[in-house]
Amino acid sequence: YSLLPERVPFSVLKNGAIFSRKVFDYEKDPRSYFLNITVTDPGGLNLTKTVNINIININDERPYFTTKQRIYRIPEEQSLGTVVANITAKDPDDEDFPSRLFYSIQSSNRYFSINPSTGVLQVTGRADRDALPLRLHPNVSLLLRVEDSPSGGHASETEITIIIEDINDNLPECHPSTFRKEVNEDTTAGTFLLDLRNYCRDTDVDPSHNQFNFTGLSGFGSNNFALGSTVSGRLVMTESIDLENPANLGVEVYSLAVRVQDIARPDYSNIIYIYIRIKPVNEFFPVFSNLSYEFNVPEIIKVGSSIGTVNAKDKDWPPSVITYSIIAGGGTREYTNIFWISPTKGVVKILGRLDYETTQKHIFTVQASDQEKAATASVTVNVLEVNDEEPVCAPNFYSFQIPVSLAVGTNINGFRIECQDRDSDPRSFRYFINEGNTNNHFTFSPSAGSNTSRLILASRFDYESGLDTNWVYRLRVHITDDNLLPARDKTTRLIKTGTVTLSIRVIPNPTTIITTTPGFTVVTKRENTYSESAWYVPFVTT
């Protein structure tokens, strides 16, 4: 056997077996060979036959990546399914027709996946550049693998890096977003109140995205406040707020709003609310409506009665609660203070009985206090005289005898009444016999206008004709201070009466026959005398 052409990498043996003389490479060598084999017999005859040898491809090559790019950049917060890259690869074993390659990601990650058939790399998880771990490590490294068979084939690997880039996707935020401040009303203009920048931040990582300004101070009372600058966010007072000013009267809380806004587009913004309460300051002393008060009170006024009212006001807003008290004066030897003042209303009341004859005028000091500041005023109580004392006469009981023949006009036994009255002039006294003066035998002289009066026999006794039958006269004498004189300073024209009892026995002549009727006289005497056997129950009424 012989083989032509001689350059082919085959040989033929005497028995006709064809052998290869090399290791074939399907990807480099010819894929097909045509051999002319001639067989010759000993007689010299021959025959030539063409043999076609095809080299069959086997899987002996590794696939390789044709994508050259190794670093990719994508913005954060891409929607799920967004294509990051089209990863491509080839298999030298399959250059003449589409190969079946299988793609996978060997490194673990939460953000990306690759289509095993197409090699399309997609976003499958939220990539928040402003949150951990991307905030510290924004580069995501992926180890990609391509295989030419799902099992037991050849494979290649490559590493790519995906850089997650920051975008301006966060609002500036302040914690808290609502502020409450208290400011005294006397706070001066220019006083620093609040540094907003200390409470605000933008969580975007890129410095170009996390810068913000403070703008748009608005709201009720914003003309009293200002921002030091748009950058600093320092809130200051531009003018003090006087709560007593009619323009501000009743306004204690100011509501402000400040906008905190991104410098970078799309200009995200947020609102900060600031409530400033103007705290009242006790600037003014209470002021009484009068520097001094004068009340005229009759001495017979009832205990517990109101005798007048003092009043004080405070210019502070809101109006302070004023408390009234008596701090000096107004007492007597028996009582520390016989006056009381209502702590809330300023009404002055009397706690004890007044007596013109003892004290004609009481002076005490009242205080009005707003708990911090106080003012005082003088109160004068003029005790007005009232005819409240009755005449006191001595003796108030007298018993004597007179002869029946006593001459008319005689001062009986030289008897006379002497009377005293603490609040009446003696010239105002009147004397009259109220009971027992049968047939008007007795009278007093003078009958009025003196503190001393004598008992006079006014008419003779007549027992003989039967005109008189009573031999014992019990006279009840009333002495009144009926104010006959003009009472210029008295507020009440009362009449007080003193009483004197006289017992007069008429002594008949020796020849006079006296017809008597047996009888008796009951005399009752009342005394307040302590007794060990009695029960004494004291009561204190407040």
| Structural domain harbouring 197 | 173-279
In a domain, 541, yes or no: no
For residue 185, what pLDDT is reported?
82
Structure tokens at 536: 């004494």
Rounded CA gap, 294 and 307, in Å? 10
**Predicted pLDDT of residue 530:** 59
| Per-residue model confidence (pLDDT) at position 86 | 95
Q: Is 137 exposed, middle or buried (CB count within 10 Å of its CB: 0-12, 13-18, 19+)? A: exposed
pLDDT single digits (tens) 328-354: 988 877 777 889 999 999 999 998 888
- Quick one: 186 and 224 in the same domain? yes
Phi, psi of 538 (to 5 degrees): -80, 145
pLDDT over 70, % of the chain: 90
Evaluate whether residue 305 is within a structural domain: no
Mean pLDDT of 268-281: 89
Of 437, 443, 440, 439, give the one whose Cα is nearest residue 417: 443
Scan for tokens 């406040």, then name that residue: 225
534 within some domain: no
Q: Which residues contact 481 (CB under 8 A, 6 or more apart)?
A: 387, 389, 390, 391, 421, 423, 424, 428, 429, 495, 496
Give the burial class of 142: count Cβ atoms within 10 A of its Cβ; 0-12 exposed, 13-18 middle, 19 or more buried.
buried
Q: Is residue 154 part of a domain?
A: yes
Distant-in-sequence, close-in-space partners of 238: CB < 8 Å, separation ≥ 6 = 189, 190, 223, 224, 225, 226
Do the domain assignments include residue 519? no
Per residue in 461-501, pLDDT tens?
Answer: 988 888 888 899 999 988 888 654 444 444 445 667 778 88
Each residue's pLDDT tens digit, 413-423? 888 888 887 77
Q: Are residues 397 and 502 part of one domain?
A: yes
Q: Say which residue, 484 or 292, is predicted with more confidence.
A: 292
Q: Are residues 502 and 396 in the same domain?
A: yes
**Do residues 272 and 179 both lie within one domain?**
yes
pLDDT of residue 485: 45
121 and 142 share a domain? yes
| Domain end point (choices 34, 54, 74) | 54
Same domain? For 245 and 143 the reply is no
DSSP three-state, residue 312: strand
508 close to 471: Cβ distance less than 8 angstroms: yes
Is the peptide bond between 298 and the residue preceding it cis, with omega within 30 degrees of 0? Answer: no
Q: How many residues comprise the chain?
A: 542
Task: Assess whether 8 and 81 both reside in one domain.
Answer: no
284 pLDDT above the threshold of 60: yes
Q: Are residues 503 and 396 in the same domain?
A: yes
Residue 162, strand partner residues: 72, 140
The reply to whether 368 falls in a domain is yes
Give the other-Cβ count within 10 Å of 176's Cβ.
9
Pairing of strands 253-262, 212-219: antiparallel
Asked whether residue 94 carries a pLDDT value surpassing 90, the answer given is: no
**Number of folded domains in the chain?**
5
3-state SS of 204-261?
Answer: CCCCCCCCEEEEEEEECCHHHEEECCCCCCEEEECCCCCCCCCCCCCCCEEEEEEEEE
What's the whole-number mean pLDDT along residues 292-321? 90
Smallest Cα–Cα separation from 367: which of 297, 294, 296, 285? Answer: 285
So what's the pLDDT on residue 430?
86
Burial code (b: 16+ CB inside 10 Å, e: under 16) for 38-52 equals eeeeeeeeeeeeeee
- Of 130, 165, 200, the last residue of a domain is 165
Q: What is the pTM of this model?
A: 0.53
Are 214 and 139 found together in one domain? no
Question: Residues of 477-499 as b/e, b for ≥16 C-beta within 10 angstroms?
Answer: bebbbbbeeebeebeeebebebe
| Tens digit of each residue's pLDDT (9 = 90 or more) over 145-180 | 999 876 667 899 999 999 999 999 988 988 998 999
Assess contact for 33 and 48: CB atoms under 8 A: no
Q: Nearest-CA neighbor of 424 among 483, 478, 359?
A: 483
397-409 pLDDT tens trace: 888 899 988 989 8
Average pLDDT of every residue of the chain: 86
Q: Give the pLDDT score at 490.
A: 45
Would residue 436 be called left, alpha or beta, if left means φ above 0 and alpha means ψ between -120 and 50 degrees? left
pLDDT surpassing 70 at residue 287: yes
- Residue 515 belongs to some domain of the structure: no
Q: What is the pLDDT of residue 349?
A: 94
Q: Is 527 helix (H, G, I), strand (E, B) or coil?
A: coil
Whether residue 518 is contained in a domain is answered as no
Of 325, 350, 384, at which residue does a domain stop? 384
Q: DSSP assignment of 368-434, as one string?
A: EE-SS-EEEEEEEEEEEB------EEE-SEEEEEEETTPPTT-EEEEEEEEEE-TTS-GGGEEEEEE
Each residue's pLDDT tens digit, 499-541: 888 889 988 876 555 566 666 666 665 555 556 666 667 777 7
Determine the pLDDT at residue 491: 45
Residues 185 and 157 in one domain: no
**What are the φ/ψ torsions at residue 196 (nearest 5 degrees)?**
-70, -30
Are 366 and 398 within one domain? no
Mean pLDDT, residues 345-365 taken together = 89
- 318: domain CATH number? 2.60.40.60
Asked if residue 262 and residue 193 are part of one domain, the reply reads: yes
232, pLDDT greater than 60: yes
